[in-house]
Amino acid sequence: MPIYRVQELLQVTKELHKKFSWQEAKKLHEKIKELQGKRIDDAMYWAAIWMKIAGFYETIKQFEEAKAIYVKILQKEENNIAALNNVAALSAQLGQNENAKHYLELLLSLQPDSHYALNNYGNICLAEGKPGMALTFFEKALLHHSDFSIALLNKSSALRALHRTEEAILQYTITIENVKKGVTTLGIVENDGFILAKAIIGKALCLICEARFSEFAICRVECLPLIADMLAGILPPIVDPFESMLLQLPNMLHFAVSKFYGNYYQQQVIAHPSNVSNLVPLLHNNKTKIAYFSADFSAHPVGFLLQDLFALHDKTHFEIYIFSLKSHSDAINAKIKANVDYYFECEHLNDKELADFIKGFSIDLLIDLGGHTSLARPRVLCYKPAKKQAHWLGYSATTGLDVIDYYITHKAHVPPSMQHLFTEKIMYLPRSYIAYKAFAIPKVTRKECNLPEDKFIFCCFNLSYRIDEAVFACWLEILKQVPNSILWLQTYSSSRDERLQTLAVQAKIDASRLHFAPKEALSLRYKHQVADLWLDTFTLTAGTASMLCIQAGLPMVTLAGDTPQSRMSAAYWDSINVSELVVYNKEDYIKKSVDLALSEAQLQRVRNKLLTNRETSVMSSPKDFMKDLEGVYKDIIAS
């Protein structure tokens, strides 16, 4: 007996004809009509017809309908490999990772050497922030088919996520060479344009981390036409807004990438809309409901900055919700949980489920803290789960999402002249960008940090991808002009650290003047307190590190550039009115750093001003800051 009746298939093709593509529906319709009145017992043939219909639904982005057909096929043919593969891929695309893994596990039980299934399982692990597990699956896929280009690309991405960047560069290079040579897997033509573009961009992002500056400059040039093709719709998404910051794209190009992703996420949401049309409060009271949305309520810079603020909300007027995108169990997370009204672990919900869940609480204002950073989920926000939505703190540029109504910041970060670089309306905090609760920091000595007692110590513990050729050249010039000084950086990899020392030697600076500290959170020991001056990076300036310097009484020279992401530090120093540490070009950056290093009196005046102002500014008064923040919230809700 056939799996499905001819009449049922005819009805589906009529619906497709009515809703979408007449030509595609007609082909299916005529093919099926030929079978009317015939006795056909070939179940596989009928399943193949339904597979074709499901594929058509995928083409027109009706993913839920396509998935339902694959599930229906599997109810009749549970071992249908193609249906298992396709329903797993669709489930992953819909954010239903547990379902996707279930179907892939069934497939792998039937075909343990399925390189496609192994690769797809690895992709899910990578999306879930488990690069080590993902790498295992990509390597298994490549064991079966060593030229499987998409698995080579994904292996490179997993290595990059694990900070094994030299290995990642090698794998990206192999991927690029294979695609250019036309190497395919078992004669199957893959999406070579997409794979090549992703590999080139991934390689560029690794090169900057490894301080391979000349190679990065060449690779970056190769990236630009690929990004243009993405924006023109020739290529699918290949570089997200955060990555485009690291590639140092011009302002308007970065803005275009952000808008592109905003539209891309919105289209995905339109393809499978929310089931909840009305906001029906699950909890009834007269309080204003404020929700915070992030994966970082933990020992992460965002969690660190916010840990003492939640307790200060006016609970007589506000009800505070947290929707956490990742489970945590550290001390900061425990403090946050104890000081909000409702805390929900949402990691297990897909985007649509989470949006529907949030909608049920009738949230007045949702504050996104993630933007396009790791584990952020902007698609959820595209469902507009709250009445008003705003971004604050976690991401230093526009989200590009039309559904985000406001961007909360400080004028030193986003001056009025830069508001055109945001899709959101800018809402300014009146006095300070953030505030912290004063406490005694632990004492650390130079000896404990293996540092000389008699040298002037410049330091910077910004992440490796923030240190580019321009800023490192300035640092070398500063070292030349301040002979009795050293530069103290955070280690990244032995290869990168040695490369920086080689560049120093080429500039006639002794390699021993570069010192490298082990990786650890600055807030653990406040080790930077033993330095004399922090030298900030350019493309992406310090954020939380600026506040940690203020807490430690350590001055920082920062260059406020022509992009929002290059002005984050300026917002912190302006908040305590120590604007003399903010400069606007490289020449002044070098001069200010050298002058402070060579004049103990000048440095002490700046340090004294820092210590005095931090005690009298709103930055050190969380209660006053919270009044400002809640005032902004009220204005947004009333708008």
Confidence of residue 403 (pLDDT cuts 50, 70, 90): very high
Better-predicted residue by pLDDT, 616 or 275? 616
Identify whether the C-beta of residue 29 lies closer than 8 Å to the C-beta of residue 56.
no
Residue 30 has pLDDT above 60, yes or no: no
The Cβ of residue 622 has, within 10 Å, a number of other Cβ atoms equal to 20
Helices (H) and strands (E) in the chain, counts: 26, 13
Residue 550 has pLDDT above 80, yes or no: yes
> According to the model, what pLDDT value does residue 82 have?
87
DSSP string, 393-462: SS-SS----TT--EEEE-TTTS-GGGGGG-SSEEEE-SS-S------PPPP--TTTTT--SSSEEEEE--
Rounded CA Rg of the chain? 27
Confidence of residue 408 (pLDDT cuts 50, 70, 90): very high
Residue type, 179: V
> According to the model, what pLDDT value does residue 372 have?
97
> According to the model, what pLDDT value does residue 105 have?
96
DSSP string, 478-494: HHHHSTTEEEEEE---H
Mean pLDDT of all residues in 372-386: 95
Share above pLDDT 70 across residues of the chain, in percent, rounded to a whole number = 89
Q: What is the mean pLDDT of the chain?
A: 90
Each residue's pLDDT tens digit, 148-172: 989 999 999 999 999 999 999 999 9
Each residue's pLDDT tens digit, 1-21: 344 454 555 565 556 545 545
Q: Cβ contacts of residue 184 below 8 Å, gap of 6+? A: 147, 149, 190
Mean pLDDT of all residues in 250-269: 94
Q: Which is nearest to 204 in space by CA: 190, 186, 218?
A: 218
Each residue's pLDDT tens digit, 37-79: 444 445 556 677 777 777 777 766 777 888 888 898 898 888 8
Residue 188 has pLDDT above 60, yes or no: no
> According to the model, what pLDDT value does residue 323 have?
98
> According to the model, what pLDDT value does residue 400 have?
98
Share above pLDDT 90 across residues of the chain, in percent, rounded to a whole number = 75
Mean pLDDT of all residues in 29-36: 53
Residue 563 has pLDDT above 80, yes or no: yes
Which letter does DSSP use for residue 129 in this model?
T
Mean pLDDT of all residues in 165-182: 93
Which residue ranges form the domains of the chain, and what is each CATH number?
1-112 (1.25.40.10), 288-435+622-638 (3.40.50.11380), 456-619 (3.40.50.2000)
Identify whether the C-beta of residue 175 lies closer than 8 Å to the C-beta of residue 152.
yes
> According to the model, what pLDDT value does residue 439 have?
80
Each residue's pLDDT tens digit, 277-308: 544 555 567 899 999 999 999 999 999 999 99
